[in-house]
Structure 1
Amino acid sequence: MTRFAPNAIMSLVGETPPHDLGESVSPELHLGDLLSGDLSDLSLGYGTAAGDPALRAAIATSNGVDADEVVVTVGGMHSIFLIAFLLCSPGDEAVTVSPLFPMSRNALDAMGADVRVLPLTFEDGYRLDPARLRPLLTPATKLVSLASPQNPSGVAFSPDTVREVLAIMATQCPAAYLLLDETYREAAYGSDQVTASAAGLNDRVISVASLSKCHGAAGLRIGWTITRDPKLRESLVLAKFNTVVTCSSVSETLALRIFQNLENILASRRQSLSTGLAMVEQWVAENAAFVEWVRPDAGAICCVRLKPAAFDDKAVESFYQTLQDHGVRVANGTWFGEPARVFRLGFGFLAEPELKAALDAFSAALRDRGFGEA
C-alpha cells in the first residue's frame, strides 16, 4: 500500500519561532470578527454532502459559475485528494510541475500514479511555457495538476497560458482534466486587478481553492471544488460523503459570513500584502550582494535565493541553523523540490512591525555569516 511521503513542511503546524517568515497565509481572522449575530439556533446536525446551498451560491458568485457546479470540501487539500482518488488509478499518468506544494504531489503518488514532472526554474521566473508540457502528455494522461498563483513562488499563469495548456491537452490527452489550484487567486496586491477564475473555461477544468490563505480562515477547514462536468461532480459528492460525510455546519455558517463581507475582508488584506511585498522588495535590494528573488504576481509568498557567490553549498546548509539561532524560520526549498539555497519567504502573515523585525533578524543572520554589512 502506498503511504504519504514525509516532508518537513509539517513543521509549520508545530511550534512557532519568534520571527516566522515560513508561513504562507494572510493574517488570521478571529471568531469575534464573524460573530455579528446570535448563533444559538444554529443546528449542529449533519449538513448536506455537496455543501450548504447558500455557501455554494456565494462561492459560485465569487468564481463566475453556477452553484450546482460547486462542491464544498474540508479544506483545499481534501479537494485535491479526492480529485486524485477519482481520476488516478495505479499506473495512470499525471503531469505536474516543480516546485510545487508537496501535498499536491503526495496525493498523486499515494494513488500510485505515474507522475511526470516539468521543472520550472528560478532563472525563468517560474514561468510556464505550455509547449514544454506537450512531450509529457499522452493519451494515458488522466490529470494535469497546476497551481496559479503557485506555491511556493506566487507566480501566476496568464489566462492565455491556461487556454494554451487546454488546447494542447485537447490534442494530446483529450480525456484528461486540468486541475488548477486557485487558492491565492484573490490575494492581489493593493489595487491590482484580480484574475478571473478559470473554473468556467470548459468542462475539463477543475478549480480548487479554500479560505485558508488570503482569507485568513485556515481553522474553518473550508475549501471547494468547481467542475462543469456533472458526472465528475456527482462522483465528488459521493467521494466526499464516503470520507467525511459532510462539512461542519458551524464552519459552513462562518464561511458564509466571510463571503457576505468578502470585499471588506479582502480589501484590508490586499493592502497589507502590498505593504509586505514592498518591504521584501526593499529588503532584497538592501541585501543584493547575498540574495535575489522572483517577484510574485499575487499571494503572501515569494521565492528567494542565496547567491552562489556569497554562499557555497556548505554555507547554505549551515545558514539555516544560523537563521534558527536568530529565531527566524523560512520554508526550505527542498520541501517543494527546489535546491536548499532557494527558500519560500512569507510576507503576509506578520503585521508590519513584526515583519520588519523578522527581516532585520534575517539581515543580522547574514552579518553573522561574515559576509559584511547586510
Structure 2
Amino acid sequence: MRYVRMPIEVESPEEYGYGKIRYNLSESSIADQKLSDLKVTFPDLTLLYGEHRGNGALRELIAAGSGGLSADDVLMTTGAAGALFIISTALLDAGDQLVVIRPNYATNLETPRAIGCDIRFFDLKFEEGFRIDPDRLAAAVTPRTKLISITCPHNPTGVMLTEAELRQLSDLAKQRGCYLLVDETYRDLSYDGVLPLAASLGEHVISVSSLSKAYGVPGIRVGWLITTNKRLQEVFLAAKEQISICGSILDEHVALTVLQNRQALLEPVLAEMRRRLAQVTHWMQGEDRLEWVRPAGGVVCFPRMRAEPPGGVAAFYARLLEKHGTYVGPGHWFEMPDTHFRLGYGWPTADELTSGLAAISKALRG
C-alpha cells in the first residue's frame, strides 16, 4: 500500500491552527463537548485489555431498536475512519473493483487508492440534487464489482436517500453478488426521521458510524461497523486485532455514558441544528452569488458559486481567511471544483455562524 496525505487532513483547522481562524465554518460535526457537558465520571477503572469486539454493553446499546441486530453484529473501531480502513483492507485487493460515490469523505476514496484496486467513481450531480439514482448506479456495477460504497446522510452535501432508495440499493448489491457499504455517521442527525440501520437489510450490507459528528466527541475515537455476516465479522475482528487488539477502556467508558443518555443529548442538538439550518436557508435565499441543494441531515452543506468571484476562486478563499478570518472546506477536499465549498453550521457558536456567513457574502464580492 502507498499512503498519501489527504488534502482535507493537511489543510484541516487543527493542522492549520485554530488560533488563526476567527469563524470556523469548515467543521463537519456539532461543537466539541466536554466531559462535564456529558456528565461523564470515571470509576476506578482497571486499565486492562478490553473485549476485542468492544465493550459488550456499548455494543448492545448500538444494536438496540435496530430491527433484529444484536451486540454480536457490532465491532467497535477507532472512529468511523478505522472501520472504513478495516473494511477496505479486508475486502479489497488490487484486482478487485469498487464502485464509490463522489464527492465523498476522503477515507472512502483514498484507502482504496492506496490498496490499488480498480475504482469506478459514481459522480453525484448538482443538477440532480446530489441524489444517488439507483438505476444510474446499477449501470456502473460490473461483474467485477466487489463493493459499492455510499454515505447517507451524505458528506459533504447533507442529502439523504429515501428508505425505498436504500432498499433498492441493497437489492441491487444482492442481485449483483457484491457488498454494500453505507457510511451512516450522520444518521442520528436526520431531520425528517432516521432510516433503518443499513446492516439490518441483509448479510451483504455493512454499516459504519461513530459518535464524532452527532455527539461532538471526536477526541474519544469511538466508531463501529455492523454486519450480520458472521464470516465477515471474524475477518474484520482479525484486522482489528492486528491493528490495535482492542479499543481504549477510557474511550469506551465515555461512549457508553453518551449512549446511555442518547435521547437526552440528541433532542436539544436536533432542535438547535434545525434552527441553524433554517438560518443558513434564509441566508442562502438572500445570497444571489451562491446556489445549493438544501440538506436533509448532518450539519454540513455544499454551496456552489454561480460565477467566479472578483479576482478568481483562489483569491476568494485567501480573502475570506486573511481579511475576514473565516474558514470553509474548499471543493478539492472532496475532489470537486473549488467553486464548491463545504459549510459546517453545527460546530461554531451561533454568533460565529452569523458572522461567518456575513463574511462569506463579503468575500464573494471582493
Question: If the length of structure 2 is used for normalisation, what is the TM-score?
Answer: 0.95
Please state if 1:317 is matched with 2:314.
yes
Structure 1 residue aligned with 2:37, among 30, 33, 36? Answer: 33
Q: Which residue does the alignment assign to 2:325?
A: 327
- Aligned residue type for 1:61: A
Q: Which residue does the alignment assign to 2:183?
A: 181
| Mapped partners of 1:206, 1:70: distance in 2 | 10
Whether the 8 Å CA contact 2:7–2:332 is kept in 1: the answer is no
Q: Gaps (5+ residues) in structure 1?
A: 370-374
Please state if 1:355 is matched with 2:353.
yes
Please state if 1:50 is matched with 2:53.
yes
Q: Out of 344-353 and 222-231, give the one that drifted further.
A: 344-353
Post-superposition shift, 1:36?
4.8
Deviation string, structure 1 residues 299-326 (Cα, Å, up to 9, x no partner): 0000101112x538x6222111111121
Q: Which residue does the alignment assign to 1:6?
A: 6
Q: Which residue does the alignment assign to 2:251?
A: 251
Q: 1:129 to 1:280 in 2, by over 3 A?
A: same
Post-superposition shift, 1:92?
0.5
Whether the 8 Å CA contact 1:306–1:316 is kept in 2: the answer is no
Whether the 8 Å CA contact 2:173–2:204 is kept in 1: the answer is no
Whether the 8 Å CA contact 1:186–1:195 is kept in 2: the answer is no
SS of the residue aligned with 2:216?
coil
Whether the 8 Å CA contact 1:90–1:112 is kept in 2: the answer is yes
Q: Which residue does the alignment assign to 2:335?
A: 337
Q: 1:88 to 1:202 in 2, by over 3 A?
A: same
Match runs of 1:21-170 below 5 Å = 21-37=25-41, 39-61=42-64, 63-64=66-67, 65-170=69-174
Q: 1:180 to 1:36 in 2, by over 3 A?
A: closer
Q: Which residue does the alignment assign to 1:220?
A: 220
SS of the residue aligned with 2:257?
helix
Percent of aligned pairs with the same residue? 37
| Mapped partners of 2:45, 2:147: distance in 1 | 39
SS of the residue aligned with 1:284?
helix
Whether the 8 Å CA contact 2:40–2:257 is kept in 1: the answer is no
Q: Gaps (5+ residues) in structure 2?
A: none
| Mapped partners of 1:225, 1:11: distance in 2 | 27
Please state if 1:301 is matched with 2:300.
yes
- Aligned residue type for 2:118: D
| Mapped partners of 2:163, 2:48: distance in 1 | 41
Whether the 8 Å CA contact 1:63–1:199 is kept in 2: the answer is no
SS of the residue aligned with 2:245?
coil
Post-superposition shift, 1:160?
1.1
Whether the 8 Å CA contact 2:104–2:334 is kept in 1: the answer is yes
Q: 1:62 to 1:252 in 2, by over 3 A?
A: farther
- Aligned residue type for 2:105: F
Whether the 8 Å CA contact 1:153–1:302 is kept in 2: the answer is yes
Deviation string, structure 1 residues 322-346 (Cα, Å, up to 9, x no partner): 1112111110011102111011100
Higher helix content, 1 or 2: 2
| Mapped partners of 2:92, 2:290: distance in 1 | 40
Deviation string, structure 1 residues 211-269 (Cα, Å, up to 9, x no partner): 01011110010000000100000111111011011100000011000001000111111
- Aligned residue type for 2:3: R
Q: Which residue does the alignment assign to 1:372?
A: none
SS of the residue aligned with 2:226?
strand
Q: Out of 232-241 and 351-360, give the one that drifted further.
A: 351-360
Question: If the length of structure 1 is used for normalisation, what is the TM-score?
Answer: 0.93
Q: Stretches of 4+ moved more than 6 A in 1? A: none
| CA RMSD in angstroms, aligned pairs only | 1.5
Deviation string, structure 1 residues 274-313 (Cα, Å, up to 9, x no partner): 111011111111212x1111100100000101112x538x
| Mapped partners of 2:2, 2:78: distance in 1 | 23
- Aligned residue type for 2:347: F
Whether the 8 Å CA contact 1:304–1:343 is kept in 2: the answer is yes
| Mapped partners of 2:92, 2:104: distance in 1 | 19
Size of the aligned set, in residue pairs, is 360
Please state if 1:270 is matched with 2:273.
no
